[in-house]
Amino acid sequence: MKKRRRKPRTTHPAVRPPAQAAAATPEPEAPADARIRSLLERYCTLAGVKHAARGGDLSELKVPEAERPFFRDRARLRVAFSLEALERDPDAELAVLGSPLVSQLVDAIRSRAARLSLGVLTSPRSPSLRSGQALGKRGDELDELAIPVRDGVAKLQKTHTAVHLVGRLVARVVLRAGAGVEESVVESDVFDLSAGTRVADDVAAAFRDLETGRIEAADPSALGKATRIPAREPADLLRLLAIHLQEKLAEQVAARRAAAEQALAAELGRLDRYFKAILAEQSSDAAIATVTALAERRRTEEIRRSQVRAVVHPLQLIEASVVIERSEWRLESNRGRKASFTTQRSLGGDWSIACPHCGRPPALLVICRQEHGACDACSQRCSVCDEDFCGEHGVAQCRVDARPVCDEHVRVCPSCRLEHCSAHEAVCSADGHPACSACLAPCGSCGRVICNRHAEQSDAGAPKGSRRLCAECLRHCEGGANEPVGADEVTECASCGKPVCTAHASQCAVDGHVHCSQHLRRTDRSHRVVCTRHRVACTLEPMAVFASDELQACPVCGKGTCIEHRAVCSHCGRQVCMADLQQESGHCATCAQLATTPEPPLEAVTAARVVTGRAPRSSRWRVARDRTHLVVELDLGFRRKAVVTMRHGGDAPESVVQHSLLGSKRRK
């Protein structure tokens, strides 16, 4: 069973509640867009769709099998052209812009019925077309062109009758700006499709009468041997018609743009307040930079989204053939350039002169350097070769001096991707490619001329300030945040060999060499700056950082010890670490291990001779060894002793401490 659609609600002024219907006379229901109805009827005629009226603004369509895929494979559908008709038949579909029915109709027209030929149009001033008599009048030919030619002359070649195609374009235009979408069906004026100009008012009126069926098409045989002039290329024709549609939609586009700008201002204000609150919560420079970049990206996206964009979907080109009287002219410039130009008129009408490029009446004719005609409004004079060119064969502005340039002398800069003239072109020293002079400048270090693509700007905080640098002179300082600097502003880090600028360079307090910040650190006690190689830790305080010259190797254990953790042995006089010093006796661990040896080492004997002048008896000395020294204790009698230390491999005592009842005395 077919499910019945719920009756739609509406606030249309013509649909009143029952209580108001008796109190007020209902206003007549406004029908749907008449252009949609006309499109539907023409489509039905061309595609073989049976169109039956069901009273008022309600119609029923019987769709043949070949057309059903466009309408969801339906064989029948009812179409309402007003809300009143939809009230009478809720199962019908309303033919309004944006509805599924109109979208299906547009797809069907563009696939099956994009062109409608009305036949031969009878010129309103040429009844001879029907009788087969001679076409046009004689004695009123245009023998002189009233419009002047810049730096040239115009010569009449011939005047004859021809068959032109005239017609108009029906298109769907979708305007998008931000969240708003507006859709409309627009019809162009009647154009001469062969010449690209608007036809005279009488021909346009006759075309509309032929389209609506008020007059009948003429017999094609009445055209006789008149020359048939083909229509212009589709791309060129669509360009002209699009310009005309843009003029017709100027007010609508301006209104949409104003609404979009108002909505954009409100949205940008909201974004600014939102990101301002987020920035207030950030403390680090990195977080502030991240949020700022995100805010700029969101603003850019919103500005791009709010731009007005028009999408034109050509729906149907309606055309007819008409007899035109043509005058063909030969334009010749003082430079030897030649071009053809035509004027035309309907039989018995006034002559029409229009620019073949833009379709507007020209005040001055110009011969393009590519040898075709144009008007002064859509042509320029090249600033390099001083020749005229139309809008299709050059650009209006060079990016350097904003002067026009023809297509022969126009260049595209690979650096900025903008167009410029050949007079403002030079060579980049980086790889020899050409670029515009606005993108080229010398390197601040070596002076070579480079383009913006191969250059980088150093920061204002660099040692020599902000400068333009080429790839060969560019360095990235390892001492800061990898910022770009010049090769003449850096030196190599003694630890890693990477460049570091003079603003971020520091010297190690031990070796005096330059190091980057990653390899430098301050000591914890003296706060001196030392490199990684000269950064050491005390054996009794491993978490603290010291410079290598601030530690001394303990002679007992050989480990580095800071001055705070060293003490003097009261027996041998050496500075040893606190771990190797006995607190009760004040002796180091080596002195505590002194023992009598029956066979003293040779170096011990040598040390004894140095102190006493002779070799004492073996029972009167004691010997001990540690990591760095040989410690010898000599008994000198009368309770006197001498403690001698000698480095391993040495031939002379390093220190001699004498002990007696009167105290201790260091001799060496």
In angstroms, rounded to a whole number, what is the distance separating the alpha carbons of residues 360 and 345? 15
Q: Which pairing describes strands 506-507 and 499-501: parallel, antiparallel, or unpaired? A: unpaired
Closest CA to 241 of 290, 190, 204: 190
At 142, is the pLDDT very low, low, confident or very high (cuts 50, 70, 90)? low
Residues of 458-482 as b/e, b for ≥16 C-beta within 10 angstroms? beeebbeeebbbbeebbbbbbbbee
Higher per-residue pLDDT: 607 or 623: 623
- Dump pLDDT digits (tens) for 4-21: 444 443 333 333 333 333
Higher per-residue pLDDT: 361 or 406: 406
Q: In this structure, is residue 608 part of a structural domain?
A: yes
Average pLDDT taken over every residue of the chain = 82
Phi, psi of 552 (to 5 degrees): -130, 135
Picking from 113, 143, 171, the residue at the C-terminal end of a domain is 113
What tokens does 543 get?
């978490």
Q: In this structure, is residue 386 part of a structural domain?
A: yes
End-to-end CA distance of the chain: 123
Whole-number pLDDT of residue 27: 42
Picking from 437, 457, 480, the residue at the C-terminal end of a domain is 437
Question: Bridge-partner residues for 373, per DSSP?
Answer: 367
H or E element that contains 561 = strand 560-561
Higher per-residue pLDDT: 606 or 573: 573
262 pLDDT more than 80: yes
At 32, is the pLDDT very low, low, confident or very high (cuts 50, 70, 90)? low
- Dump pLDDT digits (tens) for 225-255: 788 888 888 777 777 777 777 778 888 888 8
Q: By the 8 A CB rule, do 540 and 561 touch?
A: yes
Q: Which pairing describes strands 76-80 and 93-94: parallel, antiparallel, or unpaired? A: parallel
Whole-number pLDDT of residue 419: 92
Query: Which segments within 394-533 are labelled E, that is strand?
Result: 394-395, 405-406, 410-412, 419-421, 425-427, 434-436, 440-442, 449-451, 456-457, 468-469, 474-476, 484-486, 490-492, 499-501, 506-507, 514-515, 520-522, 529-531
Phi, psi of 454 (to 5 degrees): -105, 15
Exposure of 478 in the CB half-sphere (CA atoms within 13 A): 18
Average pLDDT for 436-444 = 92
In angstroms, rounded to a whole number, what is the distance separating the alpha carbons of residues 447 and 442? 5
In angstroms, rounded to a whole number, what is the distance separating the alpha carbons of residues 48 and 269? 56
In the block, residue with structure tokens 């913006």: 452
What tokens does 449 get?
């001329």
**What residue type is assigned to position 371 of the chain?**
E
- Dump pLDDT digits (tens) for 508-530: 999 888 888 778 889 988 899 99
| Burial (0-12, 13-18, 19+ Cβ within 10 Å), 174 | middle
Q: In this structure, is residue 71 part of a structural domain?
A: yes
H-assigned helices in 189-318: 201-212, 234-248, 250-280, 285-305
For 620, the domain range is 585-666
| Burial (0-12, 13-18, 19+ Cβ within 10 Å), 298 | middle
- Dump pLDDT digits (tens) for 474-519: 888 876 667 888 888 888 888 888 888 887 788 899 988 888 877 8
Q: How far is CA 637 from CA 316, 630, 641, 655, in A?
A: 132, 22, 7, 20
Whole-number pLDDT of residue 55: 78
Exposure of 588 in the CB half-sphere (CA atoms within 13 A): 27
Average pLDDT for 200-204 = 84
Whole-number pLDDT of residue 14: 33
Picking from 404, 437, 470, the residue at the C-terminal end of a domain is 437
Query: Which segments within 30-179 are labelled E, that is strand?
Result: 50-53, 58-62, 76-80, 93-94, 115-121, 152-177
- Dump pLDDT digits (tens) for 77-135: 888 888 888 888 888 888 887 788 888 888 887 776 677 788 888 765 554 433 333 33
At 469, is the pLDDT very low, low, confident or very high (cuts 50, 70, 90)? very high
Q: How many domains does the chain have?
A: 4
Checking phi first, is residue 263 left (phi over 0); if not, alpha (psi -120 to 50) or beta?
alpha
- Dump pLDDT digits (tens) for 44-70: 887 888 888 887 788 888 988 888 888
Q: By the 8 A CB rule, do 543 and 537 touch?
A: yes
**What residue type is assigned to position 588 of the chain?**
C
Q: In this structure, is residue 513 part of a structural domain?
A: no
Q: In this predicted structure, which of 102-116, 317-331, 385-399, 429-443 has the lowest mean pLDDT?
A: 102-116
Q: Which long-range contacts (CB under 8 A, 24 or more apart) does 445-450 make?
A: 445/469, 445/470, 445/473, 445/486, 445/487, 445/488, 446/470, 446/472, 446/473, 448/472
